[in-house]
């Protein structure tokens, strides 16, 4: 697909099919979404209609080895079962080789779902020697390679042709060469491969468009370059007097191919966010079936399976803890840095990391129902949704090309019949033709795409000097219309890493540094972020960390350790109470720290409460200043976080965000689930606000894609950076 007119053509053809309720095509992602009645229309008819319109569908292929095929009836039954599955276009089962070949739409059905369909039909998949081909990715790579090769060929012929033409026109060639016939034939020889080899894709696209009773940008390119090329032929053969314009035709096509090559590369990057998200998924799962512990591909995990996860392993699917206690690092999905304690009855999310103990949980959501899959779907929907201006552009494009052709013809007639006689040796026909070609070429969006980067490069180059990376000119244009800036808390306003902020010593003989050194020595063997923060704080102060003789982690409560002659406990009040220690006056100090959005860690030494550590995700140095600047510029600043309300309000006060705006609306959105951030952004948009979303975590990706302008933090995750058209390189607001 090359332009908005292609979108209109495909949508119109799909909507003509009986049984189609709605159809929407996205040019950037080159995807079509449609709703249809399967009792009236099958997938084959849809694919055939798209091909008849002059386009193709990226398909995946799978070659699967089967078991339990006994006769031809089994083969036919399995074929029917596969073909009734949504997203499978072709299926062939070979009884002799016991293999199934499946051709499918990767965006509709996955490898795991194909395997499950085969298993539901009563058969078994032994292996998949032909890995599922990512045909969408391969199709994009093939298109990029094709346009690159065409560009190389075009430049190889066009550059010498253009150089010869300019030297001739400026009188820099000897008269003997200018007057010779072979120079004209050399220009013809250089221009012809460009016109009919490099430019053939535009002739082909124009033919398919006309066959479907529409006109697209390929038609403009074909008409403009052909007018210059074919006018030059009778001049070459001496049938008429005039000027050769072979270089004009070649330059038009080569410049358009350059634009196509850059466009193909840009389209190849639109799915990077999705690929990064999918890469988080665990590949295998340790499942208990019939009393046996099996290592299975994650696609084969079923709802109700009992799954075992050991420390350091990823949670394969969503579920509920049945046995064991642990702390789960959910930062890759929630963006929040603190691990979440998990006990029997608590939910765990697929793709998160088990930090502490071994757990056994029951799978409740698998495949497309998991939280990760839902986030992937949200990003896809946000990327595929159309803005109102895009829908308007689709409507305009339906009449744009015919209107340009009419205007070009009127231009020719006007210059031919109404304009005063031309000066010099330029004929009336030649002048009219030149002006007609100019109208055809300048009206093509590809020509516009070569002109507008001049302005965009100046703006984006200046922005880069200030650490702002724009990935698209649309984001640059849209940024000027913003009214609201939504800031994610963790990793955007704050550093995203816990830091020791307070050390309070109570009835204990040692100093604050002594307390921190003992706590760090005890936490030396811990992988918990709070423990790592304590060790890091001791290292920053140059404190000596003692040898650890014994270490025991108590899931959800803290650690018990022996450091030399000291018996050290570091953890929650519950850990202290279970070891016979009372906090007394320490409670009020803990409440004070907690009101400041700090996590409190109690330290006991040799059976006595020794002190209290305050640990918090500290605010970045530039956050307060940046938020104040945004407010002074008239932007509404909204903070959004998965943290509790108390923590959110404490951070907001610290950086100068009032809980409500001028009209009494809440601008602190706390306890927002990962999938709901995009919904919050959409709710603001329905109020007429033009929203920028600033975030760094994977959970921010759907909101970044949904916002009018997505801004990612350069120090954040690759997924967030890929999903946003603007990146703050330094990671500082």
Q: Residue 37: what pLDDT?
A: 83
Angle of helix 428-442 relative to helix 217-236, nearest 10 degrees?
150
The neighbour count for residue 197, using CB atoms within 10 Å, is: 14
Q: How far apart are CA 65 and CA 45, in angstroms?
A: 29
Q: How far apart are CA 23 and CA 14, in angstroms?
A: 7
Query: Which strands sit side by side in the sheet containing 599-605, from one edge to the other?
Result: 494-505, 608-619, 599-605, 566-571, 558-563, 550-554
Q: Residue 449: what pLDDT?
A: 37
Same domain? For 182 and 323 the reply is no
β-bridge mates for residue 88, sequence order: 104
Higher pLDDT residue, 212 or 204?
Answer: 204
Same domain? For 163 and 223 the reply is yes
Q: Residue 190: what pLDDT?
A: 94
Q: How far apart are CA 683 and CA 276, in angstroms?
A: 27
Same domain? For 634 and 548 the reply is no
β-bridge mates for residue 468, sequence order: 728
CA angle at 317 for the pair 62 and 353, rounded to the nearest 5°: 120
Q: Residue 450: what pLDDT?
A: 39
CA-based R_g, the chain, Å = 33
Q: What's the pLDDT tens digit per position in 454-493?
A: 455 556 656 755 667 776 667 777 888 899 999 988 888 8
Higher pLDDT residue, 77 or 276?
Answer: 77
DSSP secondary-structure letter at 622?
T
Q: Is the pTM of this model over 0.75?
A: no
User: b/e for 584-619, b at 16 or more Cβ within 10 A?
Assistant: eebeebbeebeebbbbbbbbbbeeebbbbbbbbbbb
> Within a domain: residue 686?
yes
DSSP secondary-structure letter at 666?
B
Q: Residue 433: what pLDDT?
A: 84
> The CATH number of the domain where 27 resides is what?
3.30.70.100
Six-digit token string for 86: 């949504």
> Within a domain: residue 452?
no
Using DSSP's 3-state secondary structure scheme, residue 206 falls into helix
Residue appearing with tokens 């799962």: 285
Same domain? For 399 and 264 the reply is yes
Q: Residue 375: what pLDDT?
A: 67
Q: What's the pLDDT tens digit per position in 18-72?
A: 888 888 877 656 778 888 887 788 777 888 888 888 787 877 778 787 766 656 6
Q: Residue 300: what pLDDT?
A: 85
Using DSSP's 3-state secondary structure scheme, residue 695 falls into strand
Is 488 assigned a catalytic role?
yes
> Within a domain: residue 451?
no
Same domain? For 401 and 414 the reply is yes
Using DSSP's 3-state secondary structure scheme, residue 18 falls into coil
Residue 98's contacts (CB-CB under 8 Å, 6 or more residues apart) are 65, 66, 67, 69
> Final residue of a domain: which of 92, 114, 133?
133
Q: How far apart are CA 259 and CA 49, in angstroms?
A: 29
Pick from 449-458, 517-526, 635-644: least confident: 449-458
Q: Residue 387: what pLDDT?
A: 47
Read off φ and ψ for residue 39, nearest 5 degrees: -80, -20
Domains held by the chain: number: 6
Taking residues 532-542, report their average pLDDT: 89
Cβ distance 38 to 47 under 8 Å? Answer: no
Taking residues 222-251, report their average pLDDT: 84
**In which band, very low, low, confident or very high, does the pLDDT at 352 lie, cut at 50, 70 and 90?**
confident
> Within a domain: residue 454?
no
**In which band, very low, low, confident or very high, does the pLDDT at 642 lie, cut at 50, 70 and 90?**
confident
The neighbour count for residue 550, using CB atoms within 10 Å, is: 12
Same domain? For 23 and 63 the reply is no
User: b/e for 459-494, b at 16 or more Cβ within 10 A?
Assistant: ebeebeeeebbbbebbbbebbeebebbbbbbbbbbb
Q: What's the pLDDT tens digit per position in 400-409?
A: 778 888 998 9
Same domain? For 83 and 42 the reply is no
Which domain does 309 fall in, by range? 282-368
Same domain? For 264 and 287 the reply is no
Taking residues 373-401, report their average pLDDT: 59
Q: Give the pairing of strands 340-342 and 494-505.
A: unpaired
Element (H, E) at 733: none
Asked whether the predicted pLDDT for residue 381 surpasses 80, the reply is: no
Cβ distance 370 to 341 under 8 Å? Answer: no
> The CATH number of the domain where 309 resides is what?
2.70.150.10
> Within a domain: residue 201?
yes
Q: What percent of the chain lies above the pLDDT cut of 90?
A: 19
**In which band, very low, low, confident or very high, does the pLDDT at 124 lie, cut at 50, 70 and 90?**
confident
Same domain? For 289 and 196 the reply is no
Cβ distance 485 to 612 under 8 Å? Answer: no
Asked whether the predicted pLDDT for residue 282 surpasses 60, the reply is: yes
Pick from 336-345, 390-399, 522-531, 711-720: least confident: 390-399
Q: Residue 389: what pLDDT?
A: 47
> Within a domain: residue 415?
yes
Six-digit token string for 323: 């046995």
> Within a domain: residue 380?
no
> Within a domain: residue 383?
no
Q: Residue 407: what pLDDT?
A: 92
Among 4-13, 264-273, 461-470, 687-696, top mean pLDDT goes to 687-696
Q: How far apart are CA 397 and CA 4, in angstroms?
A: 6
Same domain? For 261 and 170 the reply is yes
Q: Which of 166, 165, 152 is nearest to 257 (CA)?
A: 152
> Final residue of a domain: which of 38, 57, 76?
57
Same domain? For 257 and 174 the reply is yes
Asked whether the predicted pLDDT for residue 333 surpasses 70, the reply is: no
Q: Residue 486: what pLDDT?
A: 94
> The CATH number of the domain where 611 resides is what?
3.40.1110.10
> The CATH number of the domain where 649 resides is what?
3.40.50.1000
Q: What's the pLDDT tens digit per position in 542-574?
A: 888 888 888 888 877 888 988 888 899 998 888
Q: What's the pLDDT tens digit per position in 582-605?
A: 887 788 888 888 888 788 899 999
Average pLDDT of the chain to the nearest whole number = 81
| Helix residue spans in 481-528 (DSSP H) | 512-523
Taking residues 244-273, report their average pLDDT: 77
Residue 188's contacts (CB-CB under 8 Å, 6 or more residues apart) are 232, 233, 236, 246
Cβ distance 725 to 710 under 8 Å? Answer: yes
Of the listed 74, 488, 696, 700, which one is catalytic?
488
Q: Residue 662: what pLDDT?
A: 74
Higher pLDDT residue, 14 or 466?
Answer: 14
Same domain? For 570 and 664 the reply is no
> Final residue of a domain: which of 566, 591, 615?
615
């Amino acid at each position: 697909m090359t332009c908005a007119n292609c979108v209109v053509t495909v949508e119109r053809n799909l909507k003509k099919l009986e049984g189609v309720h709605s159809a929407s095509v996205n040019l950037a992602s080159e995807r079509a979404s449609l709703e249809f009645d399967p009792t009236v229309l099958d997938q084959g008819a849809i694919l055939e209609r798209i091909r008849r319109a002059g386009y193709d569908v990226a398909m995946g292929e799978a070659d699967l080895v089967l078991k339990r095929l006994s006769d031809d009836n089994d083969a036919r039954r399995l074929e029917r079962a596969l073909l009734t599955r949504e997203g499978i276009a072709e299926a062939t089962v070979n009884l002799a080789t016991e293999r199934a070949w499946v051709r499918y739409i990767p965006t509709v059905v996955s490898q795991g779902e194909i395997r499950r369909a085969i298993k539901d039909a009563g058969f078994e998949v032994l292996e998949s020697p032909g890995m599922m081909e990512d045909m969408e990715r391969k199709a994009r790579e093939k298109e990029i390679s094709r346009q690159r090769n065409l560009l190389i060929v075009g430049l190889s012929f066009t550059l010498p042709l253009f150089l010869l033409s300019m030297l001739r026109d400026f009188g820099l060639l000897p008269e003997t060469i200018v007057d010779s016939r072979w120079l004209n034939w050399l220009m013809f020889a250089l221009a012809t491969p460009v016109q009919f080899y490099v430019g053939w894709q535009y002739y082909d696209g124009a033919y398919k468009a006309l066959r479907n009773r529409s006109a697209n940008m390929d038609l403009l390119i074909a008409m403009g370059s052909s007018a210059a090329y074919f006018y030059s032929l009778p001049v070459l053969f001496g049938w008429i007097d005039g000027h050769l314009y072979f270089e004009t035709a070649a330059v038009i096509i080569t410049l358009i191919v350059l634009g196509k090559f850059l466009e193909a590369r840009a389209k190849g990057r639109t799915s990077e966010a999705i690929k990064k998200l999918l890469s988080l998924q665990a590949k295998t799962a340790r499942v208990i079936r019939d009393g046996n512990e099996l290592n299975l591909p994650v696609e084969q995990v079923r709802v109700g399976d009992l799954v075992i996860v050991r420390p350091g392993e990823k949670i394969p699917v969503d579920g509920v803890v049945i046995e064991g206690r642990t702390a789960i690092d959910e930062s890759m999905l929630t963006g929040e840095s603190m691990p979440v304690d998990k006990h029997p009855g608590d939910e765990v999310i697929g793709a998160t990391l088990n930090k502490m103990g071994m757990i056994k949980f029951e799978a409740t959501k698998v495949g497309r129902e998991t939280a990760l899959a839902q986030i992937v779907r949200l990003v896809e929907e946000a990327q595929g949704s159309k803005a109102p201006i895009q829908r308007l552009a689709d409507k305009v494009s339906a009449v744009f090309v015919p209107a340009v052709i009419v205007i070009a013809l009127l231009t020719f007639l006007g210059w031919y019949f109404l304009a005063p006689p031309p000066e010099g040796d330029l004929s009336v026909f030649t002048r009219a033709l030149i002006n007609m070609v100019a109208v055809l070429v300048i009206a093509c969006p590809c020509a516009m795409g070569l002109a507008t980067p001049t302005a965009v490069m100046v703006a984006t180059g200046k922005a880069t000097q200030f650490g702002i990376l724009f990935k698209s000119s649309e984001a640059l244009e849209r940024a000027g219309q913003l009214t609201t800036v939504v800031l994610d808390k963790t990793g955007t306003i704050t550093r995203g890493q816990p830091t020791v902020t307070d050390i309070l010593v109570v009835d204990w003989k040692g100093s604050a540094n002594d307390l921190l050194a003992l706590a760090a020595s005890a936490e030396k063997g811990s992988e918990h972020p709070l423990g790592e923060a304590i060790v890091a704080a001791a290292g920053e102060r140059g404190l000596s960390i003692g040898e650890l003789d014994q270490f025991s982690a108590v899931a959800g409560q803290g650690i018990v350790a022996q450091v030399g002659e000291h018996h050290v406990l570091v953890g929650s009040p519950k850990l202290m109470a279970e070891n016979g220690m009372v906090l007394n006056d320490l409670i009020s100090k803990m409440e004070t720290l907690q009101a400041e959005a700090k996590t409190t860690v109690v330290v006991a030494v040799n059976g006595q409460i020794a002190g209290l550590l305050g640990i918090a995700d500290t605010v970045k140095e530039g956050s307060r200043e940046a938020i104040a600047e945004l407010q002074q510029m008239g932007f509404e600043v909204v903070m959004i976080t998965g943290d509790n309300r108390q923590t959110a309000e404490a951070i907001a006060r610290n950086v100068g965000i009032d809980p409500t705006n001028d009209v009494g609306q809440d601008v602190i959105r706390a306890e927002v689930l990962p999938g709901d951030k995009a919904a919050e952004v959409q709710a603001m948009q329905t109020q007429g606000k033009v929203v920028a979303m600033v975030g760094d975590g994977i959970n921010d990706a759907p909101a970044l894609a949904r916002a009018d302008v997505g801004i990612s933090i350069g120090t954040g995750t690759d997924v967030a950076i890929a999903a946003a058209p603007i990146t703050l390189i330094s990671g500082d607001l």
